[in-house]
Amino acid sequence: MNPRRVIGIDAGGTKLLGGVVDEALDVHHRVHRRILGLDQQELIDSFVDAVEEARSAAPDAEIVGIGIPALVRPASGSVLVSNHLPLDGVPFRDLMSERLGLPVHVDNDSNVAILAEHRAGVARGVDEAVMLTLGTGIGGGLLLNGEVYHGSEGAAAELGHILVDPDGPDCPGDCPNHGCVEAFASGTAIGRAGEEAARANPDSALGKALDAGREISGGLVTELAHDGDPLAREVLAAAGRMLGLAMVTLVNVFNPELVIVGGGASAAGDLMLDPAREVLAERALPPNRRLARVVQAHFGSEAGMIGASMLALDALTPLTQVGE
C-alpha cells in the first residue's frame, strides 16, 4: 500500500510554496505562486489554484494544511490580522474549505514551521525552543513545555516585533513601531541595506549589480556574499548583529535550548548567524547563553510547508490496525 498523502501550503508575504507530502514527510509535486501585491480575491484564487495543481498530480490527497503569515485564531482558523497579506478578518479556514470542497487546517506560518522542526527536525526531543523565520518579514514560533504556544487569541510569538533599537527605522506593514528586529534582519531589510551599500560603493560586486540594473534583494545580497563580496558579507553581518540583539531578549526571556533560524533569508547561514552568535555570547545572561544554541532549521525554507502538511496529516483517520 502506498503511503497516504496530504497537501501542505506555506505562504509568506511574497511567495506561496505548496507540495504533496506523504506520511514519511517525503515531498512530491512542489507548486509555487508569486502572491506579492495581489488583492484579496486574487490571493484566495491563487491558494485555490495551487491546491488544485497539487491535487491534479495527487488526487488521493484529500486534506489540506496551510500556514499563513497572519494572526490566526486557533479555534476558528479565522485571520485576526495579517501584516503582509490582505486577509484581515477573513474566515480563512472555512472559506478555503468551501472553495476546495476539502477539509482545511490553518495556523500561523511560523507556528507550523516550529512544529515541523519539533516533530522531525532540529528540535526533536527538545521542549523549549524559539524560532525566527526570516522572509519578507520575520515570523516567530515558540515551543514551550514541548507544545507550540499560541497565546490567548493567536497573536503571540510575534518575534519579528521585538524591539532592538528604540530609534531604529520604521517597521513595515501594520506595525506602528520603529526599531523592531524585522526592520533590520528580514529579507526585505537585507535587500534595502544592500541597495544602500551598493549606492555608496559602486565598485563592489553589489554596486556593479545595481549598476547593471539588477534588483538588490536579500537573495542577491546572500548570493554575492557566498561568492565572497566583502560588502555583501558586511551587510549580512550587520543584519546578523541586530538579529543577535533580538536573540539576547529571547534567550533571557525563554531560557531555550535552541534558537532556530529558518525562512528563505536564512540561506545566508553562518554569514549571518555567526555575528548573531557573537552578540548573544557577549550580551545574554550567562546561564541562559550557556544553554542556548543557535541553529538553522533542518527543513530550511520548507519548514513551513512540511509543518502545514503535518496539520493535515494529524487529521487523517488512523489506519485500521492489522488483526482488527
Binding site for a second copy (CB under 8 A): 71, 80-81, 127-128, 140, 142, 144-145, 149, 151-159, 161-166, 174-178, 180, 245, 248-249, 252-257, 282-288, 291
Q: How far is the CB of 165 from a second copy (least distance, A)?
A: 6
Q: Which is nearer to a second copy, 142 or 239 (CB)?
A: 142
Radius of gyration of the chain (CA): 20
Q: How far is the CB of 118 from a second copy (least distance, A)?
A: 14
3-state SS string for 268-319: HCHHHHHHHHHHHHHHCCHHHHHHCEEEECCCHHHHHHHHHHHHHHCCCCCC
Task: Tell me how far apart the alpha carbons of residues 308 and 152 are, in angstroms, rounded to a whole number.
Answer: 21
Q: Which is nearer to a second copy, 16 or 250 (CB)?
A: 250
Q: How far is the CB of 315 from a second copy (least distance, A)?
A: 23
Q: Where are the beta strands (DSSP E) in the chain?
A: 5-11, 15-22, 27-34, 64-68, 71-72, 79-81, 104-108, 129-134, 138-144, 147-148, 258-262, 293-296
Q: Which is nearer to a second copy, 161 or 192 (CB)?
A: 161
Report angle CA 17, 20, 25 to the nearest 5 degrees: 100
Task: Tell me how far apart the alpha carbons of residues 172 and 175 are, in angstroms, rounded to a whole number.
Answer: 6
Q: In whole angstroms, what separates CA 113 from the centre of its chain? A: 7
Q: How far is the CB of 224 from a second copy (least distance, A)?
A: 27
Cβ atoms of residues 157 and 140 within 8 Å: yes
Q: Which is nearer to a second copy, 151 or 202 (CB)?
A: 151
Q: How far is the CB of 282 from a second copy (least distance, A)?
A: 6
Phi, psi of 180 (to 5 degrees): -65, 155
Q: How far is the CB of 156 from a second copy (least distance, A)?
A: 4
Q: Which is nearer to a second copy, 66 or 71 (CB)?
A: 71
Q: Which is nearer to a second copy, 79 or 306 (CB)?
A: 79
Cβ atoms of residues 145 and 175 within 8 Å: no
C-alpha cell at 199: 549606492
Q: Which is nearer to a second copy, 46 or 255 (CB)?
A: 255
Q: How far is the CB of 128 from a second copy (least distance, A)?
A: 4
